[in-house]
Structure 1
Amino acid sequence: MAEKKLYDAARIGDAATLQQLLQTYQHLLDVVSFPCLKNVLHIAIKHGKENIVEEVLKINPELALELDSKNSSSLHLAAARGSEGIAKRLLAIAPEMCWCRDVHDMNPLHVAAMKGNEAVLEEMLQLDILPAAARLHRGQTVLHLCVKHRQLGTLTVLVDKLRDLVSAKDDDGETLLHFAVRANQLEIVEYLKRACRREKLTKNSNGKTALDIFEENSGDSRTCKKMKNNLEKFSNLSIFQNFQRYSEMTMVAAVLIATMAFQAAVSPPGGVWQADGLDNETGRAYKAGFAVMATKHPRTYKSFVIANIVSFISSTIAILLLSTAGASNHSRFVKIASFTEWVSMGAIAITYGASFVMTNPNMVEFGINNVVFITTGIFVPVIVVIFLLDSKGMKKRLVKRAKHTLFWVE
């Protein structure tokens, strides 16, 4: 009879009856256990009776540490219900329960996030942010949990606190975008696009991006078209980040070629004359410090100098353009730099060929014209192939952009 009265008092919030029962039965809170191993504190929290919770915690605060048959603590129950006041009282008495996990391997912060209870979640985050970073089943994060249960509010709260987890993958290689697409959550995809501008589309363990998953199950509704538009912006960001890496590699190549051209200018092949004199072979006079090859092979050396100057100037122009592109974020500078880099690579190849001809006796008859012919024969076809491949990619991008424009016009 006393147990039934205690249960009813906790359920309806009758503090007076609770006090009378405890005066009569002083150890009633210690011995009573309701179905599923729930104590009176669990019952009061489940029904949102904050006055009963306050009274029970005054008498026996250790009840906040007890778990029910599902390993749920009082803080789990408060997080699930969204009782901010009760959560505050429990945190003040047993803050370590933030780490306690139930049978579903979730701590109270996970539960609050899953249920969309922002106030309780923020209260627990103020105390300790680390429990929120704990991984769940199959490596999922609390952010995955928010997306899975369509809780944009708690997702927003957590992204501000756990920025490092935004791009985290679960054991299947799936990101927040994968989950959002599977749950058909346009609002969450739009939020991720705004809040995570530096993120990009990544592939899961099956080699599929969020856009791939969407296209497998997409329809023709306006919502689907908006979803695809948002995902394509993530895809464009991936292209831009690849473009940045390409710019960095081009800069390295430009610096290397400029260094080679400078070295060839100050230390020409064959060295320089050490003193003034007259070349017996050609009958030409020379001066100390002048290139030997300028006297021995004047025509070839002239071609060597021209190619070397072109290589050096085009490389320095590419460096200037890439530096400007990095500061202004202007892709056209990178495209122009790529062209000048092609020129410098062709010129440095001619420089190499001329050096080879001048310094090898068996190559004297080969001639600089053949060097230019071979270099051109190799570089031009390669550049044409690159241009054609890039044109095909550009054509596809233009078609997509045209379709997108027509959609919005309609």
Structure 2
Amino acid sequence: MAKSFSIVIDPASMEERAREAARIGDIDVLYELIWEKPDFLHEVEGREFYDTPLHVAAASGRTEFAMELLGLKPSLAMKLNQDGWSPLHLALKNGDTETAFSLLEFNKDLARVKGNNGYTPFHLAVTMGDSIDHLTLLTTILNDCPKCIHDVTNRNDTALHLAAGENKLKAFQVLLRSLLSSECSTRRIKKLLNFKNRNGDTVLHIAASKNQPKILGLLTRWGVDIRLKNSNKLTATEILEQSENQQDSKECLRILRSQRKNIFQSPFLFIFYLVRQLASEAKNMSSERSNALVVVTVLILTATYQAALSPPGGVFQANSQNNTSPAMDIHSGSKNSSTGKLNKFLEKGSYAAGSSVLSTRKFLWFFIPNIGAFCISFIVTCFVLISNLTVFFWSTLIVALTMLLFCLLVSAVMVISPNTESADIMFQYVYILAYFLSGLMYIIILVVVFIRVYCRIKNKRYARQKP
């Protein structure tokens, strides 16, 4: 009778072999373990706060082994070991940017996994140094996962707090440029810059306590509130005034005391940030609200355009005769007094075909608000399109809307105006709307696109510069 033999597998021995394979990066041993026990990785996944082979590989810089293991069991990337660190945390703590890049390429959200003291890998990347590799990694994380800049530690420290506390000037500049070039609204930017940690300290308080004039200069330029007090009822200026080393504090005090205005008080940049605020709110709007807004603006555009082409009372036809009905109080106005090329261009006779039957005053009271409503809806529609569509589609649709606006304005000035006087007034009104407001809107759009592209290029170049 044949005897049956059972193979006894020692779990402790398998764990040790798996750790050693991860430490040296031997992928063949990994598959040997899986062949011996197919549910081996499932058991590893089920253990809480455990140094998995992925932790060991990340800490040892074995990128290929780590990626092979991730392909087999992706959930291991989110697990914490006994010290509260994920594999990406360990890769960063050991300065292994190659493994860190590979892990982030596999899953960009790994940068937001909270570990020991609430530190995310992004927080560690901020504090690890100002080397080229770290700055490049920091820029990559911010480009792929911009929301991570809003994450806080258990002490309510943001990445800006940590960079200022560790005196990482270059990392701080990368953070600030990324924040200002992002699609984050102006309100959220100012809220983050003035955010307080557990001690009530803003980034400005920390920079003042560390005597960091360059960081203070950046913060005061970008609109922090220097009047905010921490838990000790001290402002940043008072912290500097109470500093024991007054010689080092002089430059910082000069920066704070000489602050007269920040970038948000500049008229041009105020308009720029106002536009970005509106664009951000349109982009972050829920799909239901966005659809409702589009429906309302399209209805207004349609109604105002149709009303302009068919004004109250109608228009004169080509075969109409001179009618002096009281209901048609028509004034030829300055028909014969127009001089110059512009006036000759606008000059038209009474009862011209297509002209409104309204008097000059009634015509203006109807058309000026009508065109104003059309232009407001036009601008709001442009914001929604820019925020929710790709560049090709929103630029194409805006060009089409612009043509529609042009046709409406030309019709109001040249065709429907009852006489030269109304045509002249409408021309001045259209000049303000079409050439100033619409022109300003397009300039702002170009500025927003230019600054966004410029900041991204600057971040990449800055990260490649030698420290």
Question: Higher Cα Rg: structure 1 or 2?
Answer: 1
